[in-house]
Amino acid sequence: MDGKGLQYAFIGQHNINDLWIHTWIDTCHYYYLLLLIGNV
C-alpha cells in the first residue's frame, strides 16, 4: 500500500467505506506490480 491510504486516513475527508476501497485498490496495485516484476 502506498501513502495515499494513510493520507486519506489522516485527512479524514473520506468515510470508512472509501478508505477500505482505496486500501483494497492500493493492495491490488502492489501485488500486480509484484506479478509484473516476477514475470520479467
pLDDT of residue 16: 65
d(CA 37, CA 13): 34
Say which DSSP state 6 is in: H
pLDDT of residue 24: 81
pLDDT of residue 20: 74
pLDDT of residue 18: 72
pLDDT tens digit sequence for 1-40? 456 656 555 555 556 667 777 788 888 888 888 888 887 6
Which three cell numbers, joined as nine digits, stand for 35? 506479478
Which three cell numbers, joined as nine digits, stand for 5? 491510504
For the chain, domain boundaries: 3-39
Q: Are 26 and 1 in contact (CB under 8 A)?
A: yes
Which three cell numbers, joined as nine digits, stand for 19? 478508505
On whether the pTM is more than 0.85, the answer is no
Q: Are 14 and 22 in contact (CB under 8 A)?
A: yes
